[in-house]
């Protein structure tokens, strides 16, 4: 499955990222959530399924010094690295399937825009929760954006799950406290509108595991 998934997503990025439905020139909502949570640029932040996202560019501008971008698509990450040129050297890039990843450290912030909703099999959502739990520091924040209940049923040719805030919180990171929940209407490059649900979740300091 890992190879199949990598091939699928490498193909999705074959003609670049700027015409893909999920592309956003500026990751406005993610930046707003980081500001509202007063996230220091010094803390460890991982963007899971970051692909070619412009979030990493914006975070470097924000002064972040401990950034990791993980994606199953080497091609997606190459697009980001090529765009950043030498600035890419200060970022840790991990090419792997999130579901088979074994984190070797913890992060203060876990960011996921439009990855969790591709997991439609309960075994995969369980694995996601387990990896998140291994990777997120106690007291850390998970920011997860997924299609809203009235959002698209498919993306990139794949079926997706759709979420309201409480369900997204419970499914992505049970046991964490909900800090923020909001709705975003993402405008695709082709002029469509895709409603997203975002949650910001805090892992309790005394959380077991």
Ligand X SMILES: C[S@@+](CC[C@H](N)C(=O)[O-])C[C@H]1O[C@@H](n2cnc3c(N)ncnc32)[C@H](O)[C@@H]1O
Per CB under 6 A, residues contacting ligand X are 5, 9, 22, 49-51, 53, 71-73, 76, 97-99, 113-115, 118, 155
Q: Least distance to ligand X from the beta carbon of 208, Å?
A: 26
Which C-beta is closer to ligand X: that of 39 or that of 72?
72
Q: Least distance to ligand X from the beta carbon of 89, Å?
A: 21
- Starting at the edge strand found earlier in the chain, the sheet holding 91-95 runs 91-95, 67-71, 45-48, 107-113, 136-147, 193-202, 177-187
Q: Least distance to ligand X from the beta carbon of 186, Å?
A: 9
Q: Least distance to ligand X from the beta carbon of 100, Å?
A: 8
The full DSSP string for 91-148 is EEEEES-GGG---SS-EEEEEEESSGGG--SHHHHHHHHHHHHHHEEEEEEEEEEEEB
How far is it, in rounded angstroms, from Cα 85 to Cα 180? 34
How far is it, in rounded angstroms, from Cα 79 to Cα 171? 31
Which C-beta is closer to ligand X: that of 1 or that of 42?
1
What is the H or E stretch that residue 70 is in?
Answer: strand 67-71
- Residue 23 contacts residue 190 (beta carbons within 8 Å): no
Q: Least distance to ligand X from the beta carbon of 192, Å?
A: 14
Which C-beta is closer to ligand X: that of 127 or that of 207?
127
Which C-beta is closer to ligand X: that of 153 or that of 208?
153
Q: What are the structure tokens assigned to 161, written together?
A: 């799950």
Q: Least distance to ligand X from the beta carbon of 163, Å?
A: 15
Which C-beta is closer to ligand X: that of 50 or that of 140?
50
Report which of 96, 129, 77 is spatially closest to residue 1, judged by C-alpha positions: 96
Which C-beta is closer to ligand X: that of 25 or that of 63?
25
Nearest residue (beta carbon) to ligand X: 51
């Amino acid at each position: 499955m890992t190879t199949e998934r990598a091939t699928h997503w490498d193909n999705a990025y074959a003609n670049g990222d700027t015409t893909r439905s999920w592309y956003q020139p500026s990751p406005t909502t993610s930046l707003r959530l980081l500001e509202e949570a007063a996230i220091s640029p010094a803390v460890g932040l991982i963007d899971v399924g970051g692909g070619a996202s412009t979030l990493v560019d914006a975070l470097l501008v924000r002064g972040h010094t401990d950034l990791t971008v993980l994606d199953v698509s080497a091609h997606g990450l190459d697009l980001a690295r090529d765009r950043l040129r030498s600035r890419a050297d200060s970022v840790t890039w991990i090419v792997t399937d999130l579901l088979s990843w074994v984190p070797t450290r913890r992060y203060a912030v876990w960011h996921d825009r439009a990855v969790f909703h591709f997991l439609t099999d309960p075994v995969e959502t369980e694995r996601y929760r387990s990896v998140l739990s291994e990777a997120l520091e106690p007291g850390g924040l998970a920011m997860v954006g997924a299609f809203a209940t009235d959002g698209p049923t498919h993306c990139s040719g794949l079926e997706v799950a759709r979420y309201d805030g409480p369900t997204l919180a419970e499914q992505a990171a049970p046991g964490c406290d909900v800090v923020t929940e909001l709705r975003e209407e993402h405008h695709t490059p082709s002029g469509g509108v895709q409603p997203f649900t975002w949650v910001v979740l805090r892992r309790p300091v005394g959380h077991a595991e």
